[in-house]
Amino acid sequence: MTSLNGIYDEIVDKIATPKARLILLEILKGEGKPDRVIKACLKALEFLPDDISIRKLLAETYFEQGSIKLAEIELEKITKQINDLSSIYKLQYELFMKEDRVEEAANSLKLYLAHSGNDQDAAQLLSELSAPSKEEASILSTSTLAEIYYKQGELEEAIKIYKQIVKDFPDDEKSKTRLDELMEIKETEKSEKSKNGIIKEKKLVLIGVLERWLANIEKRMIINLSSQA
């Protein structure tokens, strides 16, 4: 009579596609059958030595079972495979550049350099992609000057500079947003000054009234004192 383990072996062996085989192995692992998973992974890798997913499952199972050295060996094989395939990121960079997708191209180069850090040409390409353009550098330096004026209390001058930036670089959304913020600050300050001016005016009127009352009181006191004399 065929044992349960024998049935498992037979099922795993008869599964043709790597994906379906991996799914079954993950089920076995989830059911707490690590020994069956390890045996099946090793057998599958005899025929599919480049299958990273199965080797990853084997490394995970070894690690969870406390077989650290065996897990390390499998992980080293995986990382070597990944490093050998890392050139696809450089090819992806070239594809993105042809489509003018600069940000995605830069990300592909970063991934490539994570595996091939000694490629000086790729590092130079990434540096050039990351460096600001002349237009960006111009905006940055000018906006920095505007912020210096703002911090010194020269709000009008800062607004004037940002208006010029927006005029010269209409697609610069960051400068547009900052200009709107400064204009709002200006309106708030104007409103506060107007409010303070009204309050000051009311105070002056009140002081004038009080001064007239005081003058009348003093005048009456003088008259009373004269009549008593």
Each of the 229 residues of the chain gets a pLDDT tens digit; together they read 334 444 445 445 544 455 666 777 777 777 777 888 888 888 888 888 888 888 999 999 999 999 999 999 999 999 999 888 888 998 998 998 888 888 888 888 888 888 887 888 888 888 877 765 566 666 666 788 888 888 888 889 889 888 988 888 888 888 899 999 999 998 888 777 766 666 666 666 666 666 676 666 666 666 666 666 5
pLDDT for position 198: 66
Nearest partner of 105 among 84, 113, 171, judged by Cα: 113
For the stretch 38-54, pLDDT in tens is 888 888 888 888 888 88
| Arch. (CATH architecture) of 4-84 | Alpha Horseshoe (1.25)
Neighbours of 228 (CB within 10 A): 6
* Per-domain boundaries in the chain: 4-84, 87-130, 135-224
pLDDT for position 16: 47
Give the domain 135-224 fold. Answer: 1.25.40
Residues 80 and 143: their CA atoms lie apart, in Å, by 47
pLDDT for position 168: 85
Phi, psi (degrees; rounded to nearest 5) at 135: -65, -45
pLDDT for position 152: 81
Nearest partner of 144 among 128, 162, 127, judged by Cα: 162
Are the C-beta atoms of residues 182 and 162 closer than 8 Å to each other?
yes
Q: How would you classify residue 101: left for phi > 0, otherwise alpha for psi between -120 and 50, otherwise beta?
A: beta
pLDDT for position 21: 65
Q: How would you classify residue 97: left for phi > 0, otherwise alpha for psi between -120 and 50, otherwise beta?
A: alpha
The H or E element spanning position 117 is none
Are the C-beta atoms of residues 182 and 158 closer than 8 Å to each other?
yes
Are the C-beta atoms of residues 120 and 152 closer than 8 Å to each other?
no
pTM of the model: 0.49
